[in-house]
Structure 1
Amino acid sequence: MSAAAESVWVLADPRAGTAAQAIGIAERLGLPFGTVPLEWGKLARLPLGWPTLMGLTAASRAGFAPPWPRLVISAGRRSAPVALWLGRRGARTVHCMRAPGSGGFDLQVVGAHDGVAPAANRLEILGAAHRISPARLAAARTRFAALAALPSPRVALLLGGPVRGEGLDPGIAAALGQRVAGFAGSVMATASRRTGAAATAALAESLTPIPHRLHAWGSAEENPLLGFMAWADVMVVSGDSVSMLSEALVTPAPLFIAPLGDEGPRHRALHASLQAAGQARPIADAPTAFAREPRDEVARIVAAIRARGLLTDG
């Protein structure tokens, strides 16, 4: 296990978006940390609310051995019992998202949209933790300085796809592209795996009337997402992605949410929480600008970890 020599362990769920929540917090602590990849067995489907490694495959369980970490950072329901198991061995625990047995964590980070009751060990944030920081955006603004030549207002359009399955309806992608092209000086667009090739092509066609850059999923070129975010005058993010909406909060640009039509109650609750906090508005309100302060929620999490003494011995 690569984490064995480190005093901070990150339990990495196989789902990239879930793992990114824990990794993002660890990165911002500024301390060396080790990443522990988790492999789930059949029992991980059960709501295991006690300290146990039962949800892991035998191979994954075999990798857990002392010396135990001082701090464990985890995210997602399935990793919760693993974190609690390490807590029984002296580790302090920071967990993101709802989970059974959540009263056993030293700090639990939950989104306002999750509707979890307040508790002494809980910190409520807007959206979810992630790996985007003001420092990374500042570096991207320099690295992708050529984007400054695009006509203003520069609109960053971050497009996802169906929450379950792959392949966005090309008509929806084209309509959104046309809507954004109608008020943008230029568009900086990204398409994800869930967008699909057909919808990406439809989006590209819809953006042909104006200057634009489009990064397609699987492209060999370097992903300019951070550059798009750093140079955006306006952000438009599809409503299917908790991660992209949360990341967009770090920028100062007005943020507009574009629902794709199949978002469930949790996503709709996220949209409502961002709008209630004055951090976002629906795409129907675009392009009316509005002022908002950037929200660095991961910095708040790190401050809470330090304030609670979770990095100290004893």
Structure 2
Amino acid sequence: MTLPPSPPAGRPLTIWAVSDGRAGIEAQVVGLANALARQRPAQVVVKRIAWKSWFGRLPWWLVPFPHRLLTDKGDVAPPWPDIWVAAGRATLPLSIRMRRWSGRKTYVVQIQDPRMPTRLFDLVIPPRHDRLEGENVFPITGSPGRVNAERMAQDLARFRGELDALPRPRVAVIVGGKSKAHDLSPERAAAMARDIEVPVAQDGGSVMVSFTRRTPERAKAILEARLKTLPGVIWNGEGDNPYFAYLAAADYILVTEDSTNLATDAASTGKPVFVMKMDGDSLKLRLFHEDLERLGAARPFGGAFHSWTYEPLAETERAAAEVLRRYDAGKA
């Protein structure tokens, strides 16, 4: 990947990473903003916007005066950033006005398909499986993420005392949960636990288990009860999050099929990624998993582990390079 040239020496860029604070959405804007800062001197500011009452649930065209409807938590005021990176429906009333508010000085990047005219933004970065096209559209496989070699190495060093003694192969088990399209029933959780237990025990390996906020409590309890019989660690949600350390220490990575973020993070490691079946179905996510399979990054989990190699997914860095290329072109 060829990085865009650096501009003449001067002040660092100011980049706002804007979302409503939900973990999966914030991970995307922060991931892209940090990738921009790795390629160009920049200050990244995380903004979590919140709307008064029920206004945040309205369609974007029914929020005519968004500044008046933000709570104090919003903190959206000048001086405006050089680059605005946003994601999620809650940010749309602000994103579509940012160019006007800033006198066209702020470059507006919207992650995901905004489901509105893309001409209202400088650049839209949707997942490829959304099949959105346009002159100012730059599709990527999956979603921007926070995984990079430096971050994984740093987190692995912090958790070495807990992970170094685990027998290999080490299997990272990253479990999502309930979404619009998927769920994780107790029955599915029990079957999932059995499918993991058998090959790990046969191979003499260990597990490193992490749940998300969306994991149903009953499913989580079943998986914890079954998998704690294996060598390994299960993060209980307290203290520092070992998520990146688990990815760094793993020989194999298991992710549930409900999340673009989890699979993208896993595929960014270059390690074999296995996708676990859940209750429900999603055409878009099936297309995404097919993309990962074509790239050689992921395969369906069939109750056994095997190794292969592929080029780690680097879509976040590629998207950041494109943002800076277009930003520079607009300033020329």
TM bin, normalised by shorter chain, reads 0.7 to 0.9
Give a deviation string over 1:131-163, Cα, whole Å, max 9, x none: 222210111222222313211111101011121
CA distance 1:157–1:50, change in 2 (3 Å): same
What displacement does 1:310 show? 4.6
Give a deviation string over 1:174-222, Cα, whole Å, max 9, x none: 2212212222211111122222333222112322443121113xx3243
Taking structure 2 as the reference length, what is the TM-score of the superposition? 0.82
1:128 aligns with 2:143: yes
CA distance 1:165–1:96, change in 2 (3 Å): closer
Between 1:165-174 and 1:183-192, the stretch displaced more is 165-174
What displacement does 1:10 show? 2.3
Q: Secondary structure at the match of 1:210?
A: coil
1:68 aligns with 2:80: yes
Between 1:48-57 and 1:24-33, the stretch displaced more is 48-57
Q: Secondary structure at the match of 1:284?
A: coil
Gaps of 5+ in 1: 1-5
Q: Is the 8 A contact 1:170 1:203 kept in 2?
A: no
Residue in 2 aligned with 1:277? 295
Residue in 2 aligned with 1:23? 30
Q: Secondary structure at the match of 1:74?
A: strand
Residue in 1 aligned with 2:250? 232
Q: Secondary structure at the match of 1:124?
A: coil
Which one-letter code corresponds to 1:283 in the other structure? F
Q: Distance in 1 between matches of 2:179 and 2:118?
A: 26
RMSD of the alignment, in Å? 2.9
CA distance 1:46–1:277, change in 2 (3 Å): farther
Q: Is the 8 A contact 1:44 1:54 kept in 2?
A: no
CA distance 1:196–1:61, change in 2 (3 Å): closer
Which one-letter code corresponds to 1:215 in the other structure? W
1:159 aligns with 2:175: yes
Residue in 1 aligned with 2:119? 103
Q: Is the 8 A contact 1:10 1:72 kept in 2?
A: yes
Which one-letter code corresponds to 1:197 in the other structure? E
What displacement does 1:32 show? 0.8
Which one-letter code corresponds to 2:87 in the other structure? A
1:77-226 matched pairs, under 5 angstroms = 77-88=89-100, 89=102, 90=104, 91-99=106-114, 100-117=116-133, 119-146=134-161, 147-164=163-180, 168-184=184-200, 185-216=205-236, 219-226=237-244
Q: Distance in 1 between matches of 2:123 and 2:140?
A: 13
Q: Distance in 2 between matches of 1:137 and 1:263?
A: 31
CA distance 1:302–1:53, change in 2 (3 Å): farther
Residue in 2 aligned with 1:307? 325
Give a deviation string over 1:87-127, Cα, whole Å, max 9, x none: 1222111110011121232221111111212x221211111
Between 1:251-260 and 1:101-110, the stretch displaced more is 101-110
Q: Distance in 2 between matches of 1:77 and 1:226?
A: 28
Q: Is the 8 A contact 1:39 1:56 kept in 2?
A: no
Give a deviation string over 1:61-80, Cα, whole Å, max 9, x none: 99543322221111123323
Q: Secondary structure at the match of 1:187?
A: strand
Alignment equivalent of 2:263, drawn from 237, 245, 263 = 245
Give a deviation string over 1:224-278, Cα, whole Å, max 9, x none: 2111100100001011122211111211210010121224333223222222322
Q: Distance in 1 between matches of 2:314 and 2:19?
A: 22
Which one-letter code corresponds to 1:39 in the other structure? A
